Amino acid sequence: MSSITPLQDLSVSSTDQLRERALRSLERCGVRVSPGSGPRMRARSPITGEDLLDVPAATSADVENAIAAAKDAFTTWRTVPAPIRGALIKRLGALLHDHTAEIAELITIEAGKIPSEALGEVQEMIDICDFAVGLSRQLDGRTMPSERPSHRLMETWHPLGVVAVISAFNFPAAVWSWNTAIALVCGDSVVWKPSPMTPLTSAACSALLERAGSEAGAPAGLHQLVIADAQGGQVLVDSPDVALVSATGSERMGARVAPRVAARLGRCLLELGGNNAAVVAPSADLELATRGIVFAAAGTAGQRCTTLRRVIAHEEVVDALVRRLGDVFGRLPIGDPFAAGTLVGPLINARAYRGMVEALDQARADGGELIAGGGRRPVAGYPGAYYVEPALVRMPAQTDLVRRETFAPVLYAMTYREFDDAIALHNGVPQGLSSSIFTRDQREAERFLATDGSDCGIVNVNIGTSGAEIGGAFGGEKSTGGGRESGSDAWRAYMRRATNTVNYSDELPLAQGVEFA
């Protein structure tokens, strides 16, 4: 069976058009890109695969200076009452609202997201600002009963210090906002090293925060943007003046970052790879499951950490489900994300495309059957643009290939008979970010949510693996890193805890009945 459509040349916006749009959006956000001396970095668009602009790049010395400035600003900012700190984030949220179109356009230009997804990312930023403003009046501790008479035992939370935010290309603005809005409300300062693939989006976001800080009377240097390569990131990771390193990226990156931060006894918040799966039970609504699976697997051209990469379907429904998925995969509109109707934009670069090709070759070698997609759509005049058809592959087993994350739109379909086998397949990968089950059997749903069910940080019922809301903590287990960002009590990662005992008596009793006299 195959739903592969004939490969045809795509027509996309020209590089000149994209450059003009980018400059216009940057200017409206308060950023002017002008020629200059010193190190430069090229901003590129995956829509055409060509460079757009040269932007200033930070050296290792620049990163060190940014850390020093942020450390200095922290000594002032930490003493500002949290509700007053919240006023800064409230203003940032308003500016993001006013400049939603510009930020979203830059996201589409640099990351290749369709406008709907780019606008959704900006809305996520606005939402986390709203959350953080409310949080600024709820950074509460606890009071516990003391075993000693006339004593009060309590916990208080205090700002941590300089927070380094290292973000990835696929969510070039939202992940920064998750960290930065919470960190600033908690009383920390921030140094942000965005992906080198999205410097324009980061410059626009930083400019809006700088404007908000100026209007709110925040100290200079509170937020520092460093557009740098991996060496710049290494400075952040190794600096003893950085209290917390919040890094989003690949498992390989996390495996390098974590030991270096641990070596200096610093703190890490890691959001790494996800090899996410959906279990489709015999009772599942296949229409609902198909819709949820397709968005989760093909949205953002498969370049989300929450992208669905494995379907584990019961043997009674697997054939019908695969037919449905193959049909939809074969009809997905692929092309210029700015073109009306497009649902799948480009891969970020040639490396991502090579990873997809290698994965499909290995899948065939492992006995897999390509059901749909997998081809590349060429773009006339732009050989460096990589548009691909999301691929659906029927696999006989969960091979080593399937246990690895391929950051591209490749979905592996497998079969199970007993529910325990489905859970074992689901959990039988190193990663543990997001998961879902499609079922109308409450017992199966509850089991999937239970201790012996999914081992992921995000567990869904009758929805896909992508599309987390900011109210819940976001993050995963195992090689995904164990970090939590965004909502719930994720704010605690950005603060330090102090246990306080207050004696309001004239006696000095010791704990546990110890006598020392």
**Distance of alpha carbon 267 from alpha carbon 257, whole angstroms:** 11
Residue partners of 124: CB distance under 8 A and separation at least 6: 174, 177, 470
Given the residues 29, 129, 268, 305, the one annotated as active site: 305
> Do the beta carbons of residue 510 and residue 516 sit within 8 Å?
yes
Question: Distance of CA 395 to CAs 2, 111, 297, 306, 403, Å?
Answer: 15, 30, 16, 21, 12
3-class SS shares of the chain: helix, strand, coil, % to 5 = 40, 20, 40
Rounded Cα–Cα distance for residues 282 and 417 (Å): 10
Rounded to an integer, what distance in angstroms lies between the CA atom of residue 142 and that of residue 156? 7
Of the candidates 50, 271, 444, 485, the residue annotated as catalytic is 271
Strand bridging mode 50-56 / 143-144: unpaired
Give the residue among 192, 82, 174 at the shortest CA–CA distance from 129: 174
CB atoms within 10 A of CB 417: 10
The CB density around residue 508, as the number of other CB atoms within 10 Å, is 9
Instruction: Give Cα 474 distance to the centre of its chain.
Output: 9
Q: Can 271 be counted among the known catalytic residues? A: yes
305 is a catalytic site residue:
yes
Nearest to 29 by CA among 192, 205, 272, 286: 205
Q: Report the half-sphere exposure of 47 (CA within 13 A, side-chain side).
A: 29
DSSP characters for 333-344?
-BS-TTSTT--B
Q: Beta strand 387-388 with 151-159: parallel, antiparallel or unpaired?
A: unpaired
- d(CA 42, CA 24) in angstroms, rounded, equals 18
Task: Kindly give, in sequence order, each residue whose CB lies less than 8 Å from that of residue 250, ignoring residues fewer than 6 positions away.
Answer: 272, 273, 407
User: In whole angstroms, what is the distance from residue 442 CA to residue 446 CA?
Assistant: 6
The phi, psi pair for 20, rounded to 5°, reads: -65, -40
Chain center to CA of 39: 28
Nearest-5° angle of CA 44, CA 306, CA 97?
Answer: 60
Please give the Cα distance from 280 to 298 (Å, whole number).
18
Residues annotated as catalytic (active site), given as ranges? 271, 305
